[in-house]
Amino acid sequence: MGLPLRRSKVEPPPPCPLTRSLLLLRGAWAPNVIWALSGEARRFGELRHDIPKISARVLSARLRELEIRGLVSRQLLDTSPPSAEYALTELGREMMPAIKALVAVGHKLPEVDARARKPARGASIAGRLAA
Amino acid sequence: MGLPLRRSKVEPPPPCPLTRSLLLLRGAWAPNVIWALSGEARRFGELRHDIPKISARVLSARLRELEIRGLVSRQLLDTSPPSAEYALTELGREMMPAIKALVAVGHKLPEVDARARKPARGASIAGRLAA
DNA sequence: CGGAATCCCCAGTGATACTG
DNA sequence: CAGTATCACTGGGGATTCCG
């Protein structure tokens, strides 16, 4: 799979129906970027400000990926100094209801520490749930 | 390294409304696991068979995490040899419509190579879209 | 059979500096 | 302001092995 150069040695999981849409939400910062764009169009610098701690490198990468995947549009503004404006595409706006449905269910989830992925030795599930 | 400086261990991104639900879909195999459970209850070995190539280690980790997060229930069956049965909880079933909405939008997405995240030098976006 | 412990690798991210 | 180049590090995941 892949462009001529640099194939990944790590074989990806077989795709499931969810795969296509989840590709958009992959990456630690993708959700924040999409959410920040769910309102009105934003410029690069605005996004950096809206999403504290995100690095320019990652923001740039996620925006470019979302653009390639058809969720985000990029418009170079002929201003001085130059600026760029990002917005959700039609497809991007179509996806928002699905996203919001997910958010709604998320609110009903029990609060669990992120470390749930890294089970402490000897700690029982009950213990972690009770904490 | 010198002294035990508690160097920042990859600070997680600030949470956004999506974060909570996306924690469930994190990990390369989580979508497959959830999808495999969306029908009827399955045993550990059945899941390994349903999800080709998944390692026991990862399947176990994802199931445990989903259990902790309240999406999946685990029932130890008192059989011989011992077996375990996994199923979506009430909350898990509540999440399925949201998931399916996401799947529906996914079908409308343009087919883009997974390598979109690793832009090749000099290759234009248009070029990758046309490919 | 269901799962935990160990070892290793690499894709994604952060930090910083630099360019247009 | 809007990105890109380079380096270093981390932890998720694969493979294998061992346990109840």
A87: part of which helix (H) or strand (E)?
strand A83-88
**Averaged pLDDT of chain B:** 84
A75: part of which helix (H) or strand (E)?
strand A72-77
Of A108, A109, A112, residue with least CA distance to A127? A112
State the Cα torsion A47-B16-B27-B43 to the nearest 10°: -160
- CA to C1' distance (Å), from B61 to C7: 18
Sheet holding B42-43: strands in order across?
B42-43, B83-88, B72-77
Q: Which segment of A26-40, A53-67, B17-31, B104-118 scores lowest on mean pLDDT?
A: B104-118
What residue type is assigned to position B113 of the chain? Answer: D
Cβ–Cβ < 8 Å for A35, A6: no
For residue A115, what pLDDT is reported? Answer: 65
SS3 B87: strand
State the Cα torsion B95-B96-B98-B103 to the nearest 10°: 150
In angstroms, the separation between the Cα of residue A116 and the nearest Cα of chain B is 6
Nucleotides of D under 7 A from a protein CB: 1-6, 9-17, 20
B45-76 tens-digit pLDDT: 999 999 999 999 999 999 999 999 999 999 99
pLDDT in tens, chain A (131 residues): 322 334 456 788 999 999 999 999 999 999 999 999 999 999 999 999 999 999 999 999 999 999 999 999 999 998 888 899 999 999 999 999 999 999 999 999 988 776 666 654 434 444 444 43
Tell me the C-alpha distance between B120 and B115, whole Å: 9
Residue ranges and CATH numbers for the domains of chain B are 17-100 (1.10.10.10)
Q: Quote the pTM value.
A: 0.85
Flag whether pLDDT at B111 surpasses 70. yes
Q: Does B6 touch chain A (CB under 8 A)?
A: no
Beta bridge partners of B88: B72
